[in-house]
Structure formats: C-alpha cells, structure tokens
Amino acid sequence: MRRVLIADGQDPSPILDAIEIEAQRRRTAVQLISMARLDREARTEGHQGVVAFAEPIPTVGLDELLDDPRAFLLVSDGVTDPRNLGAMLRSADGAGVTGVVLPRHRAARVVPTVTKTAAGAIEYLDFCDVGGIPAALDSMNRAGVLTVGLAGESTTSLYDLDLGSGPVALVVGGEEKGLAPLTRKRCSVVASIPQRGRVESLNAGVAVSIAAFEIARQRDAQG
C-alpha cells in the first residue's frame, strides 16, 4: 500500500484499529481527512470511511498464461460496465480461473468500482492486457486452448461441451452487442446457456458465473 486515508470523526471500532495497526506494520502512511474529501478521493460508492491507495496491478504476458497445461481463462470482449466486470472477476476467482484477458481499449478497466464489486478477487487473479481480442484468441487456438464464446442465440448448449479435459477460455462479449463479429469467428465454438423463461438472455455477469462454474464442475469431475 502507498497510503491509507481514514475519515475523521468516526466512532471507534476494532476494524479501524486493525487497519491502522496493519498500516503501521507495513510502514504505510495513515492520514485522517474529512468525510467530504474522502468521498472525492474514493471515486466509488460505499467506501465505509476508509480508502487505501495501492500499487498498480501487475500484468503478465499471454504466453505466460498459455504455459499452464490446465489454463482456465476468462476473456472480456468489450464489457463496459465496471460492476459487471467486477462481478465476473469475483466469480472467476471462485471458479478457479487462472488468468483474465482484457483489451486495452473500449472496455471497462480495473477501476475502483470494479475493485469494490470484485470483493478482493483482483488480488488473486493474473491479468493480461492485449491490443486486440481476436489476435489473442488466435494465439490461444494455436496453443490448443478451447475458446468458448457465450451467445444467447447459439443453438449449441454449453452443457453439451467437453470443458474439463484441457485448457479452456471463456469469452464474453459486451452488454449490448455481445461478441464482436471477429471475436465470434475466432472462437472454437459459440455456445449458449439453455433457458426456460421468456427473457432472451442473461446479464453478462450472471452468464459468466454460470458458465465458469460449469467449467469448474467438469474439471473437478475429470480430475
């Protein structure tokens, strides 16, 4: 951590004491400021009176992610809602994703809202920034990764795929338009999550959660 800001005038609490003790242990500066200033510094809702400034999240190269013979990747193709991305990252960590591939442009980045929604998951995931998702998918395909795009209109059921016997990448498109045409072409297969209701598609964050845990279930079953 670089520094910690705590809103002045809060009632004493064990958690605030623990934060200050941990900051002192790490030799991190702690500053008391007004709640109004903390609101401006936090850039997110519900900061609960404390903001910590940390070092930038380190990134890894795509080749490093592909070196894992049991790679389980989450690929974001134009997800723009920070809360959606945060929810996806939280599910990704829970399902055992080994790496997250994000485009550098025209997509949500790991900003404070993403960090808060992810509830700590960003600390345990490896991130890879790429210039373009289609080119990254080409590299994955050549490396033997099964690249699975999610699209509600696909007639191929996610549950009919063998997702547990090798490396796999789950590709999710933007909230409004879904997978970009070039991204769809580069996917090994495009699949849907079968639904029984009248709503045509699931929220992107919910779809990723369901699909990621289906992959995790199959991987567990196949050892």
Write the pLDDT tens digit of every residue in 132-175.
999 999 999 999 999 999 998 899 999 999 999 999 999 999 88
Band of the pLDDT at 220, cuts 50, 70, 90? Answer: very high
Q: Are residues 117 and 218 in the same domain?
A: yes
Q: Are residues 32 and 69 in the same domain?
A: no
| Exposed e or buried b per residue across 121-138, where buried means at least 16 C-beta atoms within 10 angstroms of its C-beta | bbeebbbbbbeebbebbe
d(C-alpha 200, C-alpha 195), whole Å: 8
Q: Are residues 31 and 121 in the same domain?
A: no
pLDDT of residue 142: 97
Q: Are residues 110 and 41 in the same domain?
A: no
- What counts of helices (H) and strands (E) characterise the chain? 8, 9
Q: Are residues 80 and 186 in the same domain?
A: yes
Residue 107 has pLDDT above 90, yes or no: no
Q: Are residues 34 and 133 in the same domain?
A: no
Q: Are residues 116 and 214 in the same domain?
A: yes
Q: Is residue 200 a contact partner of residue 178, using CB atoms and an 8 Å limit?
A: no
Question: CA angle 53-126-40, nearest 5°?
Answer: 25
| Exposed e or buried b per residue across 28-41, where buried means at least 16 C-beta atoms within 10 angstroms of its C-beta | bebeeeeeeebeee
Q: Is residue 1 a contact partner of residue 48, using CB atoms and an 8 Å limit?
A: no
Q: Are residues 77 and 139 in the same domain?
A: yes
Q: Are residues 47 and 141 in the same domain?
A: no
> For residue 89, what are the domain limits?
62-222
d(C-alpha 99, C-alpha 97), whole Å: 6
d(C-alpha 96, C-alpha 90), whole Å: 10
Q: Are residues 122 and 218 in the same domain?
A: yes
Write the pLDDT tens digit of every residue in 35-80.
999 988 887 777 789 988 888 888 999 999 999 999 999 999 989 8
